[in-house]
């Protein structure tokens, strides 16, 4: 006979899944729905959780509140994919149900962010249970599944029942991995005005030993660290952090350094912004069956307007990106599987643009545009790309390239509804060429410079877009090649 706690969890899962089944169809046909990016079936979604490749399939879990378009008691939504691009919704994996993740009086409770690991035939989740008003407020917990769909919370929970002395009650977002015969978890926390990353280890996923603070903020890296992710890529140790400064969430960055498994200390060497856009937070990485390091992030930010709420949903994810190390930097680029969804194409070569000759074309609502700009032959000191434009150009998103200052500006002032603040990122030239790639969707823009050396992710919400695409330059701009592909999700 099942115990009361397990039955309670099953009841809460059934309640959530029944609600989605009854109400999800009304959301699916809305014009605001994205064509290529993963989004919540309805209700609210934030952080990606539990990214893992398990038994030949990609799994994406996510922070989820199905009952409203505002944040609420956190569940774990669940989906799977055969290629990392086209996702299939699965039943909700976790719901608040236990004393460490549920409260009948506090709205601030739930199964907060965490990660997943494939252990033989089992899929194991590690997550933060949060109950406002409880002491301690945040604990780390384990759930298991043998079929990859139905999850049971461990009777041994909380696996990590409290925070260490070097931390505070803000103690969340465990990222789990295995090296040799040992499991490790890195957990975000803070103390004395500094964000910190705590390390734990376990031989059996049940008994966890605190190994210390791996590293902490240098005073400029945030006073709370969320969603830490530590991994090795091409023999380079990398730590990704989503920082908070007070109550404000800021742009994630990555630290380059050395992690010593004996001491569990991470020696920082350098750090860089991960994505320069306004709608990129809580990225998580995993290794897939092709031994690629893949990253997906929440394609929103806290306190954004998110106009899609009017259509019964809120929250989306970036396209899956492959991470590589080049020139001591972390590059990120859409996984090659995205190319399989290109259905129509336009190729223009040796395009010359100046004050008397602009370039105009029409795109579909989901498009993949690649430009190779000849910087050596071009005379222009600046140029503009306009996307999601109305025919009268009164509504548009402007991407301004300053070739003297070597910066790119994404200007959302006339982009429609939603947030209007701008994004600025560096530019770089590769063998005399400026390489630009734009992944465009109904209300999303992902900009990749120099094959992912710099990236800008923003949500844009046009109201009268005719999907015009325009390039303008006052002085001579030589575009060696422009490729434009429509993207379509079949089925």
Q: Which residue has the higher pLDDT, 245 or 2?
A: 245
Element (H, E) at 290: none
Minimum mean pLDDT among 7-11, 105-109, 380-384, 405-409: which range? 7-11
- Arithmetic mean of pLDDT, 410-438: 97
- Arithmetic mean of pLDDT, 240-266: 97
Cα torsion angle, 400, 425, 173, 206, sign? positive
* pLDDT score, position 136: 97
- Arithmetic mean of pLDDT, 96-120: 96
Q: Is the pLDDT of residue 7 over 70?
A: no
pLDDT 10s digits, 147-183: 999 999 999 999 999 999 999 999 999 999 999 999 9
Q: Is the pLDDT of residue 5 over 70?
A: no
Q: What is the 3-state secondary structure (H, E, C) of 110-121?
A: EEEEEEEEEECC
Q: Residue 222: pLDDT band by 50, 70, 90 thresholds?
A: very high
**3-state SS assignment for residue 31:** coil
CA atoms in the 13 A half-sphere facing the CB of 323: 26
* pLDDT score, position 464: 85
- State how far the Cα of 252 lies from the Cα of 329, in Å rounded to an integer: 15
Q: Is the pLDDT of residue 3 over 90?
A: no
Choose the CATH number for 7-23+33-333 among 3.40.50.2300, 3.80.30.20, 3.30.1330.60, 2.115.10.20: 2.115.10.20
- Arithmetic mean of pLDDT, 94-102: 96
Q: Is the pLDDT of residue 448 over 70?
A: yes
Q: Is the pLDDT of residue 370 over 70?
A: yes
**For this structure, is 47 an active site residue?**
yes
- Of residues 18, 47, 270, 441, which has the active-site annotation? 47
Strand partners, 126: 115, 142
* pLDDT score, position 490: 77
pLDDT 10s digits, 26-36: 999 999 999 99
What angle (nearest 5°) sits at the alpha carbon of residue 429, between those of residues 423 and 432? 150
CB count within 10 Å of CB 430 equals: 13
Instruction: Identify whether 158 is preceded by a cis peptide bond (ω within 30 of 0).
Output: yes
How many helices (H) and strands (E) the chain has is answered by 2, 34
Are the CB atoms for 114 and 174 separated by under 8 Å? yes
pLDDT 10s digits, 278-297: 999 999 999 999 999 999 99
Q: Is the pLDDT of residue 265 over 80?
A: yes
Share of the chain above pLDDT 90, in %: 97
Q: Is the pLDDT of residue 1 over 50?
A: no
Q: Average per-residue pLDDT in the chain?
A: 96
213 closest CA partner among 200, 232, 227: 200
Q: Is the pLDDT of residue 146 over 70?
A: yes
pTM of the entire predicted model: 0.97
* pLDDT score, position 39: 98
Q: Which residues contact 424 (CB under 8 A, 6 or more apart)?
A: 276, 407, 408, 409, 410
CATH topology assigned to domain 341-485: Jelly Rolls (2.60.120)
23 closest CA partner among 63, 64, 68: 68
Are the CB atoms for 315 and 44 separated by under 8 Å? yes
pLDDT 10s digits, 458-476: 999 999 888 999 999 999 9
Q: Is the pLDDT of residue 491 over 80?
A: no
Q: Which residues contact 14 (CB under 8 A, 6 or more apart)?
A: none
* pLDDT score, position 357: 96
Across 417-461, the runs of DSSP E, i.e. the strands, are: 423-426, 433-441, 444-449, 454-459
Report DSSP state, residue 395: S
- State how far the Cα of 112 lies from the Cα of 63, in Å rounded to an integer: 7
Q: Is the pLDDT of residue 4 over 70?
A: no
Share of the chain above pLDDT 70, in %: 98
For the chain, the structural domain boundaries read 7-23+33-333, 341-485
């Amino acid at each position: 006979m099942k115990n009361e706690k397990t039955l309670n969890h099953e009841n809460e899962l059934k309640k959530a899944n029944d609600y989605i089944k009854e109400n999800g169809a009304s959301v699916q046909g809305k014009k605001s729905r994205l064509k290529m990016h993963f989004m919540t079936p309805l209700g609210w979604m934030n952080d990606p959780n539990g990214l893992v490749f398990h038994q030949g399939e990609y799994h994406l879990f996510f922070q989820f509140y199905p009952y409203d378009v505002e944040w609420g008691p956190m569940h774990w939504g669940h989906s799977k994919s055969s290629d990392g691009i086209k996702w299939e919704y699965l039943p909700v994996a976790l719901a608040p149900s236990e004393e460490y993740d549920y409260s009948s009086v506090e709205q601030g409770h739930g199964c907060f962010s965490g990660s997943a690991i494939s252990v033989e035939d089992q899929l194991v989740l590690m997550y933060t249970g949060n109950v406002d008003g409880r002491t301690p407020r945040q604990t780390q917990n384990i759930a298991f599944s043998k079929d990859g769909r139905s999850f049971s919370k461990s009777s041994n929970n909380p696996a990590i029942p409290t925070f260490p002395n070097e931390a505070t009650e803000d103690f969340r977002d465990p990222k789990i991995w295995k090296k040799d015969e040992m499991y490790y978890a890195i957990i975000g926390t803070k103390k004395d005005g500094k964000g910190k990353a705590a390390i734990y280890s376990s031989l059996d996923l049940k008994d966890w030993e605190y190994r210390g603070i791996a590293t902490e903020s240098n005073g400029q890296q945030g006073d709370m660290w969320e969603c830490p992710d530590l991994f090795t890529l091409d023999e380079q140790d990398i730590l990704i952090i989503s920082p908070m400064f007070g109550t404000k969430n800021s742009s994630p960055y990555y630290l380059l350094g050395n992690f010593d498994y004996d001491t569990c200390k991470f020696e920082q060497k350098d750090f860089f912004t991960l994505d320069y856009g306004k709608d990129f937070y809580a990225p998580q990485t995993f290794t897939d069956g092709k031994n690629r390091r893949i990253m997906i992030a929440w394609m929103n930010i806290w306190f954004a307007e998110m106009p899609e709420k009017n259509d019964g949903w809120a929250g989306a994810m970036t396209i899956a990106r492959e991470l590589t190390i080049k020139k001591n930097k972390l590059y990120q680029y859409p996984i090659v599987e995205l190319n399989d969804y290109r259905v129509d194409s336009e190729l223009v070569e040796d395009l010359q643009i100046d004050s008397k000759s602009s370039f105009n074309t029409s795109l579909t609502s989901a498009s993949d545009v690649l430009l190779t700009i000849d910087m050596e032959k071009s005379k222009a000191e600046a140029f503009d790309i306009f996307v999601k434009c109305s025919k009268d150009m009164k509504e548009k998103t402007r991407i301004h390239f300053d070739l003297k200052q070597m910066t790119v500006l994404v200007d959302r002032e006339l982009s429609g509804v939603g947030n209007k603040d701008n994004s600025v990122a560096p530019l770089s030239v590769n063998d005399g060429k400026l390489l630009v790639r734009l992944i465009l969707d109904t209300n999303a823009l992902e900009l990749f410079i120099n094959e992912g050396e710099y990236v800008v992710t923003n949500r844009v919400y046009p109201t009268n877009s005719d999907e015009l695409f325009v390039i303008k330059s006052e002085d001579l701009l030589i575009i060696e090649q422009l490729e434009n592909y429509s993207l379509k999700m079949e089925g």
